[in-house]
Amino acid sequence: MKKTHPIRELMNEEGLTSLSVSHDWRTGRVCWRAGYEWDGSMPWSAYQKTFTFESCLAESPRFYGHEAVLEMFRARGIEPVREKIEELLKAGRHQGIDFYRESSLDITFMNNMHANILGIKNGRHAIRAGGIRRHPLSDPELEVIVDGLNLARAMSFKNAAAEIPFGGCKCTVHSEEIPLTDLARLGFLAYCLDRSRFFTGPDMGFLPELSDVFHDHFTDNITGGKKGPLGPTGTPTAYGVYLAIKAAAEFRYGDAHLRGKKVLVQGLGAVGFPLTELLIKKERCSLMVSDVDETVVKRLLDAFPEADITVVSPEAVLDTPAEIFAPCAMGGIISEAEIPRLQYDIIFGSANNVLAAHSQEEEIALAKRLAARGILYQVEWVHNIAGVMAGYEEYTRGKEADRKRLYAHIERVCGEGVLRNLKEAGRLGMTPTEYAYRKIESRIYPDLTPSPEMVR
């Protein structure tokens, strides 16, 4: 029988609280480690009151080296899982994954680390930045790992494109829903966050109020709360995507105005909803929307009863013609198999990892197939970065964070910068995705010899 949670089971059976795998993309070396570092009776709600992330938390701690961990995988017949994780790390040139497990709470924290080169000398506690996302326990563990690694890789490029001095990572939490009153579980997450040395913001599965609770009780290594100086990051992200869509329209049609255009927005969440508000208030376009949650669709229709809005069922999105498609929900929706059926001129949205790819080479190949269909597409980390900018503004300036300065930054990078990227890619005869990667990757992989796929 195929195991759907092999890492969880291994850590439970071996009594492990930590498991990590490190990868050096320069040499290809991989190293596994594990440990028992805290006792099951830990009062996580007291984190930062009676102990910190540097405290010794186990009466009898134990640690295991590389060969001992490999034997744990062999003994359970799950070596293919280890091999798959290592394969993913190598394909995406990731630095590794830290797994932290609290079995008494049935929660696993995964710190997916892509790169630290931009943040290693930034002089702050956090050297990486990336969101915190929750997956329910019904999601197979390997899917959670793949999602986290893909998002971490995108974060490295996103942070570089946003011009902030942090490497890229993504935290995925594998657990059932966590109430904001559950200070035991939230304290555990805050401990893992501080130990992992990155700053974060709430993503899917967590509300913006998570940031406020963390600030009140545990840590400042999180931004985007409702009580914060800039509020949730979805609104500035939507503004950046809106500017990018207008830049794409100017490049494709010679006119940034969207009047008369059909714009299909998939997902009316933290970014998709404010994006539709901008499109309705500022553009005279024919808006089409889709979301699995019918209540949020109704909320939009009730808010704008006079607007030209058509509702599209989630199953019909990729078969619905539109000039502009803005995916703002889950990623991985466009694989090679879907490309022939797409009927769009432009694909620009906020969803991370829109293309079903595990490496930049795979993304570039799929982007070229879209271009061959006449579809203007740009990898999303070039333009869905305003939330990162907002997080950086709040993380580095605290209560002095300034909205005017933030929005000027967004307009320069997501508006003017996107148009420059499109024009320069066109001048060089390559897709905007390929050009964006080639422009940024030397900052993230300074010693990398370009692969054949990256050379024209």
Q: What is the CATH number of the domain that holds 90?
A: 3.40.50.10860
Range of the domain at 437: 234-384+416-444
Question: Residue 7: pLDDT above 90?
Answer: yes
The whole-number pLDDT of residue 453 equals 39
Question: Residue 421: pLDDT above 80?
Answer: yes
Q: Is residue 22 part of a domain?
A: yes
Are residues 212 and 272 part of one domain? no
Q: Is residue 298 part of a domain?
A: yes
Q: Which has the closest alpha carbon to 206: 270, 272, 148, 133?
A: 133
421, 96 contact by CB (below 8 A): no
Are residues 346 and 198 part of one domain? no
The whole-number pLDDT of residue 284 equals 85
Are residues 186 and 87 part of one domain? yes
Q: Is 408 exposed, middle or buried (0-12, 13-18, 19+ CB in 10 A)?
A: exposed
Are residues 424 and 321 part of one domain? yes
pLDDT, tens digit, 9 for 90 and up, residues 139-188: 999 999 999 999 999 999 999 999 999 999 999 999 999 999 999 999 99
Q: Is residue 402 part of a domain?
A: no
What mean pLDDT do residues 115-133 have? Answer: 96
- Kind and range of the H or E run holding 143: helix 141-161
- Residue at 385: amino acid letter: I
User: Of 192, 217, 242, which residue is a domain's last?
Assistant: 217
Look up the pTM and report it.
0.90
When pLDDT is cut at 50, 70 and 90, the band that residue 2 belongs to is low
Are residues 175 and 249 part of one domain? no
User: Of 189, 217, 245, which residue is a domain's last?
Assistant: 217
The whole-number pLDDT of residue 448 equals 59
Q: Is residue 228 part of a domain?
A: no
Question: How far is the C-alpha of 382 from the C-alpha of 370, rounded, in Å?
Answer: 17
Read off the tokens for 276: 């539709």
Question: How far is the C-alpha of 94 from the C-alpha of 77, rounded, in Å?
Answer: 25
CA-based end-to-end distance of the chain: 46
Contacting residues for 376 by C-beta, under 8 A, at least 6 apart: 248, 251, 252, 345, 346, 347, 348, 422, 432
- Kind and range of the H or E run holding 394: helix 386-397
Q: Is residue 408 part of a domain?
A: no
Are residues 247 and 208 part of one domain? no
User: Of 185, 217, 249, which residue is a domain's last?
Assistant: 217
Question: How far is the C-alpha of 144 from the C-alpha of 135, rounded, in Å?
Answer: 7
Question: Residue 31: pLDDT above 90?
Answer: yes
The torsion angles phi and psi of 26, rounded to 5 degrees, stand at -70, -40
Contacting residues for 439 by C-beta, under 8 A, at least 6 apart: 421
Percent of the chain at pLDDT > 70 equals: 98
The whole-number pLDDT of residue 331 equals 87
Read off the tokens for 119: 């943040």
Question: Residue 454: pLDDT above 70?
Answer: no
The whole-number pLDDT of residue 442 equals 86
Are residues 327 and 292 part of one domain? yes
Residues listed for the chain? 456
What Rg, from alpha-carbon coordinates, does the chain have?
22
The whole-number pLDDT of residue 456 equals 37
Are residues 365 and 292 part of one domain? yes
The whole-number pLDDT of residue 22 equals 98
Catalytically active residues are 170
Q: Is residue 409 part of a domain?
A: no
Q: What is the domain-level CATH number for residue 353?
A: 3.40.50.720
Domain total of the chain: 2
444, 374 contact by CB (below 8 A): no
When pLDDT is cut at 50, 70 and 90, the band that residue 450 belongs to is very low
- Kind and range of the H or E run holding 18: strand 18-23
Question: How far is the C-alpha of 349 from the C-alpha of 177, rounded, in Å?
Answer: 27
Question: Residue 449: pLDDT above 70?
Answer: no
Are residues 294 and 209 part of one domain? no
Are residues 295 and 200 part of one domain? no
Q: Is residue 130 part of a domain?
A: yes
